[in-house]
Chain A
Amino acid sequence: MTGQTPPPVLEMRDVTKTYMIRRGIFSPKQPLRAVNGVSLKIDRGDVLGLVGESGCGKSTLAKILLGLEMPTDGEIMIDGKPVDRDGDRKAIARRIQPIFQDPYSSLNPRKTIGSIVSLPLRVHKVGDPLTWRKSVEDILDIVGLPRRVYDSYPNQLSGGQRQRVAIARALIMKPEIVICDEPTSALDVSVQSQILNLLMDLREELNLTYVLISHNLAVVEHIATKVAVMYLGRIVEETGTEALFDKARHPYTKALLSSVLTPEPGLGVPDSGLGIAFPNPINPPSGCTFHPRCAKAFGPCSVDKPPVIMDADGRVECHLYA
């Protein structure tokens, strides 16, 4: 092998994001570590699936990657170069575009669809008013929206139609990296499969890199090349898609996989065995933060932080594999 391997297109080094929050009116502010020492490498062309329980910090991590939130600690590197802390937002925005979870609040209700989708072109001064309309219409075709919505407002569209608008807006700048936070959760399945097929096509054509946050593990399994599982601000397991779905190691990953609702009537809703409570992130459990819910917990789990194990099967944080 000659030449150097290119640096990861996107890398996080020991990134932490702490929010100071108040639990009551008179109590002092306390730190909440939404993201707690996360290191991640994303290579060009990767589709990194990011999964984990609600509130575990996925969206916060996405916002940090997008430059919408500054990390409290740690470094973000793009193409091996650290991103300036007060960083050039515009430079990041040209290369990394988001597709957000909630198509309702992410679209400006007072702007037409044409104006919303063409906004990135106008902000970055790409083309001119004559080409904008054409570019928007082309992208509307691609995401399966009728061209007549050009002059509509978000509240005139259904939830699924609005999400297609958000996807159109993200793709119109032809970004290198797309951070998709629940990109298809508002879509019904026939459209979901079209969008997933479309995201895959665009990845090949434009050499796109994706970070895909999704609660739909069937979707993640289908299109991700590697998967990171988050729990309470940390990545507890990270490995190739095959390995994760075929031989998950972390007990939380296993519980997650066992909760998947496959379309088989009569089986009822499975019990993940996790118990009801997601821990309070302000006051996380000692040792392994998963230990109060872990069926495999033993001696060291409530005392010592689990070691990071890196081997041929990927990366896992759990005492069981020490």
Chain B
Amino acid sequence: MSAVLEVSGLTVDIPVPSGDLHAVRGIDFSVDKGETLCIVGESGCGKSLTSLSIMGLLPKRAKVSADRMHFVGTDLLGMKERELAAIRGNRMAMIFQEPMTSLNPAYTIGNQLMEPLIRHKNASDKEARDRAIYLLERVGITAAASRLSQYPHQLSGGLRQRVMIAMALMCDPELIIADEPTTALDVTIQAQILHLLAELRKEFNSALILITHDLGVVARVADKVAVMYAGKIVEAGTVDEIFNQPLHPYTQGLINCIPVPGKTARGSRLGSIPGIVPTLIGDIKGCSFRNRCAFAHGECDTKDPFHTLSPGRGYRCTLDVPACEANAKELVSA
């Protein structure tokens, strides 16, 4: 197994009027060729900033640091903007949460699709055009050729999202980072797109980092999962470990919040995790989940240990594994 991306000790700080916002607080993860890593976590926990930092697209005032951030063996941290720009959209591509952030309203779909291939791979107009049409068809857009002359605002939200996915795939990237790529899509297209991403990942043996809050998607496509909360990874493991033996109370709570068709009674109140995320400005002492945790106790005010159970499997909590497993049972029956 060779790692496409290896990250350790990644932090992202953003200066705001009331101090430094520590959005990402020292996280480690890696993704291998042909592997899918899903990152899930609370809104605002730093998932998008994590992916933007890999792509070198953080806002200017953000401060990023890491012990290690290697892309296919090369160090991304020391790279000049020009070198990064040569990788971005080429060997490493991103599908954004909000299509309009990466689609330029002033250019046609065709222009925007063809541009990376022409710029990075010296493709001819015809080659770029053919590939654009091919990929638009692969993402399920009919009359693809005629779409090339349309502008982003002429497409529905779902069509724009599919155009963006096609755009990310133009240069056969080694790493695809997809930030909520199917959130705005209906389930049938979602299934098709996830099929497609899985297929292309196999075809090119590329690595996929998929950010999503849809646990259904995670369960069906992930090889491994990282659960984030307040800028840290609170649990990591294979997809089976996360769903069958969730250890962190946040992971356990998440699994309890979703209505499962055929299992959750219609109209019943859904499980929820009361409370909100602590402010990320300044330091957080102890466990950042403790104001929402049903199992918080004295120790949690000061301690926040990460237990590594095996390579790639671990969780962050003051409690030991048997105690966490007992908690999971208690939550389900509550």
Q: Chain B 253-266 against A: per-residue CB contact (8 Å), 1 yes, 0 no?
A: 11101111110101
Q: Mark each residue of chain A from 173 to 195: 1 if its CB lies under 8 Å from any CB of chain B, else 0.
A: 00000000010011111111110
Contact A161 B43 (CB under 8 A): yes
**Which chain A residue has the least Cβ–Cβ distance from B138?**
A276
* Residue total for B at the interface (Cβ-Cβ under 8 A): 75
A129 to B253, CA, bound (A): 40
B74 touches A (CB below 8 Å)? no
Q: If A159-B180, A222-B264 touch, does A263 touch B188 (CB 8 Å cutoff)?
A: no
Q: A193 is contacted by which of B137, B184, B271 (Cβ under 8 Å)?
A: B271
Q: Is B100 an interface residue when CB atoms closer than 8 A count as contact?
A: yes
**Residues on B with beta carbons closer than 8 Å to the beta carbon of A270:** 191
Contacts between the two chains (Cβ within 8 Å), count: 209
Q: Which of B97, B142, B192, B267 contacts A159 (CB 8 A)?
A: B97
Q: Answer whether residue A8 sits at the interface, using C-beta atoms and an 8 A cutoff.
A: no
Beyond A54-B159, A217-B187, A263-B216, whether A189 also contacts B276 by CB under 8 A is: no
Q: What chain B residues lie within 8 Å of A23 (beta carbons)? A: 143, 146, 149
Interface of A is mostly: loop
Indicate if B214 sits at the interface (CB-CB under 8 A). yes
**Distance A69 CA – B159 CA, assembled complex (angstroms):** 20
A101 with B213: CB separation less than 8 A: no
Q: Are A190 and B183 in contact (CB under 8 A)?
A: no
Cβ-defined contact, B243 with A263, below 8 A: yes
Question: Which residues of A have CB within 8 Å of B267?
Answer: 200, 222-223
Give every chain A residue within 8 A of B326 (Cβ-Cβ). Answer: none
Q: Is the CB of A102 within 8 A of B100?
A: yes
Judged by a CB distance under 8 angstroms, whether B218 is at the interface is: yes
Contact of A189 with B239 in the complex, beta carbons under 8 Å: no
Count residues on chain A whose CB falls below 8 Å from chain B CBs. Answer: 73
Q: Which residues 72-124 in B have Cβ within 8 Å of A in the complex?
A: 97-98, 100-101
| A187 vs B213: C-alpha distance when bound (angstroms) | 7
- B residues near A (Cβ < 8 Å) are 16, 40-44, 48, 97-98, 100-101, 137-138, 140-143, 146, 149, 154, 156-159, 161-162, 180, 183-192, 194-195, 198, 213-222, 239-240, 243-244, 253-255, 257-262, 264, 266-274, 276, 279
Closest A-B pairs by Cβ, 4 of them: A160-B43, A54-B158, A261-B216, A188-B213
